Amino acid sequence: MTDEELIGCAAKAKRGAYAPYSHFKVGAALLTRSGKVYLGCNVENAAYGECMCAERVALFKAISEGERDFAAIAIVGDNGLCPPCGSCRQVLSEFCKGDMPVILLGEKLERHALSELLPLSFRLEAEK
């Protein structure tokens, strides 16, 4: 799957966003190494602290289906580049390798390694 195709999946996922409070819709598409794509959108709540980001919805869907091997994630927001928030970076780093590409759509497609977005991610054990 090309970066453009995965961004297209994220744009499709964004249509499902429930964002009546921020009015800011986000879509994410997480590609597994086996070629399956898990879509996620942000889901907000009247208790604002309970809002959930698109990236974590996609990741938790995949994890709950038994997936553990990820190839890339694409993220699309409402206006221009939408890099993942700090919490999503940390949660992604639990399951995804540092060199996993995070594909973003600004004026053009951008590709960033997860470790570039979150250097020295927190782990309980030092990496062997």
By CB under 6 A, name the binding residues for ligand THU.
19, 22, 24, 26, 42, 44, 51, 53-55, 84-85, 88
Give the nearest distance from C-beta 128 to ligand THU in angstroms.
30
Residue 55 appears among annotated catalytic residues:
yes
Nearer to ligand THU, 50 or 125 (CB): 50
Distance of CA 42 to the CA centre of its chain: 10
Q: Which residue is catalytic, options 55, 65, 107, 116? A: 55
CB neighbour list of residue 26: distance below 8 Å, 6 or more residues apart: 14, 17, 19, 41, 42, 53, 54, 55, 75, 76, 77, 78, 82
Nearer to ligand THU, 51 or 109 (CB): 51
Give the nearest distance from C-beta 88 to ligand THU in angstroms.
5
Nearer to ligand THU, 44 or 74 (CB): 44
Separation CA 10–CA 84 (nearest Å): 13
HSE-CB of 25 using CA atoms within 13 angstroms: 12
CB neighbour list of residue 64: distance below 8 Å, 6 or more residues apart: none
Give the nearest distance from C-beta 82 to ligand THU in angstroms.
7
One-letter amino acid for residue 7 of the chain: I
Active site residues: 55
